[in-house]
Structure formats: structure tokens, C-alpha cells
Structure 1
Amino acid sequence: MSDSVFVGIDVSSQTLEVASSSELKTWQVANDAAGLDALVSRLLELGPALTVLEATGGYEFEAACALQAAGLAVAVVNPRTARDFARAMGALAKTDALDAKMLAAFARVLHQHPERERFVKPLADAELQRLQALVLRRRQLVQMITSERQRMRISHVAARPSIERVIEFLKTELGDSEADVAAHVQRHHAELAAALASVPGIGAASVAVLLAELPELGRLDRRRVAALVGVAPLNRDSGQMRGQRSIWGGRADVRRTLYMATLTAVRHNPILKTHYERLLAAGKRKKVALVACMRKLLTMLNAIAKNGSKWDPSLHNA
């Protein structure tokens, strides 16, 4: 491990600041085709065990894909996670060079972490990129419709016809967006989508979000996928103190979708309905019981994705 090379890349729209654990000084290339070619050539010479980049609004995507296509191990990490690591290492100042060096140091630590998939944003292939873009656009349209409806409530009567026209336009766009998502899912993920949709409480929109935002579904065990989404209770213990367990972190978009699906499932899914009522009878608060059902629902979906089978109440009840 001491002889391994680790690389950190600080990403901006115009440049890539690169730090290697084998070199004292950082170096810079342009964030364009020519710069990426130079970056790949130099890193192939270094042969890093892992290269880490921050997720930077999509500016990191071309670089990460180019390195991965060259056969290099690449991790795209959450900026908050990288910054927390830098603070823990005492690096309070912030420059491109310092950030790149901290990412190289983080790469060394991450390479040894047994559950590094929790910290790494997976790179998507062309099909998954398209699905993610379609799902994101649908979410944006839903948010815009919600915003316009809220404006309708507080606006003067003179402004309401305009708001109504905008809402109707957005509804049309939302319908087209949902059709695009459904067509893509049917074309590329029909079998898995049908298996997931067979679970009572899971609709087409939920399936699309799971496929787009949680590609690890069915590839990890139930504990790891729960931690990845952020529905696994985290301990808060110290000495003799035993704090209240709570969920935190994870993939917020997946968790929101899972929450809405669970609200339906505890009414119409016989397994989750029984589980929810049993928790309430045991004195659990409704929100706590819902979170427990979210985790149980995710476990069911993970098992279905792993086995490729459809919903079978007898198996999940066991």
C-alpha cells in the first residue's frame, strides 16, 4: 500500500487541478478534450490505485468517464464528504491545489475502506445518464407546478389567468416527460421495472427514480443498501449514554420517493400494513414506524431486484 499512487483532482468548469501522492507539486490541465487526453496519458504513466474527484455540478463527468474508459479506478465523491475529511485533517484553508492534495489523501483512505460504495457516486453509462436526465426533468416540472399553485393562492386576481396558463403548459410538459421516462424504462429496463412495480405501493414514477438514482439496487446486501439510501438508524452512544437512533444522510431523492411509496404501501400492501400496525401497537411513533416500513420496503425491492422475481407475499412475510 505504501508504494501505491493515489490521485486527487479538483474540478472547475475550465480547469482540472491534479495532485498525486507521489509528487510534491500539483499540476493543471484544461477541462476540455485536449486537456483530458493529456490527463489520461499522464495518469496512465503514474498508474494510480484510485483517483478521486468531487461531484461538481456535472463538470467532473467528462474527466471521470475518460479516466474510467482508460481502465483507471475512479471515484466521484460528495463534496461535503471531501470537505469534512479535509477539516478532520486540519486543512482549514481552501485553494485548488490544497483541495486536490486533500482528495489524493482521501483516495488513499477510501481505497482501504470496506464500505467505500457509501461514499462514492457511481458513474453512469449512456442509457443510465439519459434516464437520470429524464427523471430529473420530471422532478423539476413537478416542483414548478407546485410553485405556481402556491403563487396562485397568494397572487392578486389580475395575475391568476397568467398563472393558470403556465400551470396548464407545465402539466402538458409533465405528461410528455412522464411518457419519455416510461418509454425509456420499457425499452431498457422492462423486466426489472415490471418486477419492482409488482410490489403493492410502488408505481411507475417510483420505479423510474429507483432505476435512475439507485443503480446499486439488487447488487448490495440489505444493510448496505439501507445505509446507502439513508434509512438505516445510526447509533448515538458514548460511554454509558445510549442516545436515540435516527436516520441521516444518504440519497435524499430516493428517500423522498421511498417515503411517498411507503405512505401508500402501509394502506394497500398487506405485509407492510401488518408491520406498521404492529409497530404502532408496540408504542412506536407514526414517523418512526413509517421509517421502519421504508427500510422493510427497500429490503423487499432489493431482494426482488437481486433475484429477478416478482412480488410474492409469502416469501416477504417469512
Structure 2
Amino acid sequence: MIEITIGVYVSKNRVEVAVLPSGAEFSMPHDEASCRELACWLESLNPTLIVLEAAGGVENHVTGILLARDLPVAVINPRQIREFAKATGRLAKSNSIDARILALFGVAVKPEPRRHKHEGAWAVTALITRRRQIIDMLAAERNRLASSHNSVKNEIAQTIKWLENRVKGIDDDLSGFIRAMLPAGGEGAL
């Protein structure tokens, strides 16, 4: 049986795919319909491994769709991919090259695929990612407030307050999901 390894590089707007050993490569929009089509197509290939790079959460959408189809997905730390690319002399950088390097990494290193998470775990992951994004926005707004003109200070302060409320809302949602995921009577563990 031929082992098929797929490299999937995910950016905000595009998904690049490289297939080994065939060498096929293609690009598609990073949208719901395209990602679902990709998952169907990959499922038909019966791949041994699909390798994605952890990209600050931008890969979560694609990863979730692939895992929902019970495909063998490994999400790899970007530093490992960079070091692998350097070690193999592949220093050029583009999204299609990145997809090919991910596939080559899968062939050479054979990382262990991630197991499917249930929906609650995906929800918690998404909330944690969103919380971090809002914290980053808060830091930026606080920096702006310190150096802004008086004419916009009130507007920035209102934005900060709104963002702080969003963090509190996400914290409440996280607590609810975590409680729901605990076994009955396990609330004392929090």
C-alpha cells in the first residue's frame, strides 16, 4: 500500500495543499465550502498523515473539519518546520513551498496524528484563542490611549471597556464549558 502524506499550509485567506508521493499541489480559498470539499477529497485519498503548521489559531478551522472526518492530522510547531526546512536546504519561502515542506516533514519525521476532539473541547480551544486575540487588542488600545489626542481618548476608553467586557464574557463561557465537560459531581475539582 502506498503511504500518502499531505501537507496543508493555512493562511488567513488561502489553503495550500501538497500531496506526496504524487507531487500534486493546489491552492483554494480559506472558506467553509472549500474546506469541506478539501476534507471530502482528502478522505477519498485515505492518507496516512495530514500535516499542518500551528499558525496562531488560523489553522483551527481546517483542522476541525479534517478531524471531524476522522482523518489523521498532526499539527506541528512552526519552529520544528523551520528547522526541518533549514536542515534540508529549503530556505525559499512561499505558501506553496510551505505546504510541500509540511508534507516532506510528515514523510521524514512521521509525527503522531492528533486524536479527534469532541465538540466541547473544540469550543474551549476556540474560546481560548479568541480570548488571547482580545487581550492583544486590549494591549494595543491601552497603548493608543496613553499617546492619543484628547479628542479620541473617550472613544478609546469606551473600546477598552467593551473589550474588557468581552474578556469577562469569554471567561464565563469557558467556565461553563469546563463545568459541562467535568463528570457529574466533579465540580469540586475546579
TM-score by length of 1: 0.46
Partner residue, 1:187: 176
Q: What aligned pairs does 1:280-291 form with structure 2 within 5 A after superposition?
A: none
* Number of residue pairs aligned between Structure 1 and Structure 2: 180
- The one of 123, 129, 134 aligned to 2:131: 134
* Residues 1:127 and 1:93: Cα distance change in structure 2 (over 3 Å): closer
Shift of 1:127: 3.9
The one-letter code of the counterpart of 1:125 is W
Distance 1:182 1:126 in 2: 13
Distance 1:45 1:64 in 2: 17
RMSD over aligned Cα, in angstroms?
3.5
* Residues 1:172 and 1:13: Cα distance change in structure 2 (over 3 Å): closer
Partner residue, 2:18: 19
Distance 2:27 2:50 in 1: 15
Partner residue, 1:35: 34
1:54–1:60 CA contact under 8 A, matched in 2: yes
Write out per-residue CA displacement over residues 49-106 of structure 1, whole angstroms, 9 at most, x where no aligned residue.
2211234465533322221111112223344432221111111233444322211111
Distance 1:125 1:15 in 2: 22
Q: What aligned pairs does 1:20-169 form with structure 2 within 5 A after superposition?
A: 20-56=19-55, 59-112=58-111, 125-149=122-146, 151=147, 159=149, 161-162=150-151, 164-166=153-155, 168-169=157-158
Distance 1:36 1:81 in 2: 25
2:57–2:129 CA contact under 8 A, matched in 1: no
Distance 1:12 1:59 in 2: 7
Shift of 1:171: 4.6
2:127–2:170 CA contact under 8 A, matched in 1: no
Partner residue, 1:229: none
Distance 2:62 2:27 in 1: 13
* Residues 1:34 and 1:129: Cα distance change in structure 2 (over 3 Å): closer
Shift of 1:20: 2.0
1:85–1:106 CA contact under 8 A, matched in 2: yes
The one-letter code of the counterpart of 1:66 is I
Distance 2:46 2:167 in 1: 44
Distance 1:74 1:32 in 2: 19
Identical residues among aligned pairs (%): 27
The one-letter code of the counterpart of 2:40 is S
TM-score by length of 2: 0.71
Distance 2:180 2:123 in 1: 19
Task: Give the greater-gyration-radius structure (CA).
Answer: 1
Runs (5+) with no aligned partner, structure 1? 153-158, 193-307, 311-318
Distance 1:43 1:56 in 2: 21
Runs (5+) with no aligned partner, structure 2? 182-187
| Higher strand residue share | 2
Higher RCO structure, 1 or 2 (CA under 8 Å, sep 6+): 2
* Residues 1:61 and 1:309: Cα distance change in structure 2 (over 3 Å): closer
